[in-house]
A and B are shown apart, each in its own frame.
Chain A
Amino acid sequence: MTAFERLARRRQWLLLGAAAGFTAWQAAFLFPKARPGFATLLSLPGFALFFVSFGAMWFWAKAASDGGVGDSLEDEMTRHNRLLALAAGFWAMLSIGALLLAAAPFVPVDASQAARLVLIGGVAVPLVRFAMLERLVDDGE
């Protein structure tokens, strides 16, 4: 496995870690009636996972740049995959917003919870989609 392949694979795992961390961090606040301490128990590790994943991604991106594989790791297809992932995030936010709007007449929807759900869709979906697209390219080799 080359340095590029190793870093690309590591980035995929970090993207999934960041998505899981952000989801846990924000989802913890979706259940205000849960046992006291539940939100902290779920959100703190989630917060830590999210920021550690992003920090590691930044660190490895710099290492890749110093090691001469930065351009390959950030080439045309990667940028294209990232755009596709961001588009997936847009559709996820739109879908969640529409679902909440449709549910609003029947179920009381708290504004902050609705905002959190939209936020989770807008952050976690692109991260997962980007990792999936990158994995698909690797698997196609």
Chain B
Amino acid sequence: LTTENSRLGNRLKVHRARAGLTQGQLAEAVAVSRRTINSVENGIFVPSTELALRLGAALGASVEELFFLPDDGVSPAGLPRSGLH
């Protein structure tokens, strides 16, 4: 778990929008608060492995699709580098 200045990128917002869920609905699905989802989307808070897996399950995506390291040259599975958060 880390906060602030994290190097971990994420495409949670994209996948959430794709799934047609609001932050509140996703928060309810993974049993956290809406502000936690908001903080994860904005890169303020890096979730635990458990929460990342729950997010993946709720959005029908793998953890690698949701989270990535921006500097290692590896883009998230199946997604273009451009527009990465």
- The chain A residues found within 8 Å of chain B, CB to CB, are 4, 8, 71-73, 75-78, 80, 84, 137-138, 140-141
How many A-B pairs have beta carbons closer than 8 Å: the answer is: 45
CA distance A137 to B45 in the complex (A): 9
Residue in contact with A77 in the complex, picked from B31, B39, B42, CB distance below 8 Å? B39
Residue in contact with B33 in the complex, picked from A4, A80, A84, A140, CB distance below 8 Å? A4
Closest to B38 in A: A141
Whether B27 pairs with A80 at a CB distance below 8 angstroms is no
Chain B's interface size range is 10 to 19
Query: With A72-B32, A73-B33, A140-B38 given, can you name 18 additional A-B contacts, CB distance below 8 Å?
Result: A4-B33, A4-B34, A8-B33, A71-B32, A72-B31, A72-B33, A75-B31, A75-B33, A76-B32, A77-B32, A77-B33, A77-B35, A77-B36, A78-B33, A80-B3, A84-B3, A138-B35, A141-B38
Closest to A72 in B: B33
A interface majority secondary structure: helix
Whether B1 pairs with A80 at a CB distance below 8 angstroms is yes
Task: Please indicate which of the listed interface residues A8, A76, A138, A141 has the most CB atoms of chain B within 10 Å of its own CB.
Answer: A76
Whether B35 pairs with A141 at a CB distance below 8 angstroms is yes
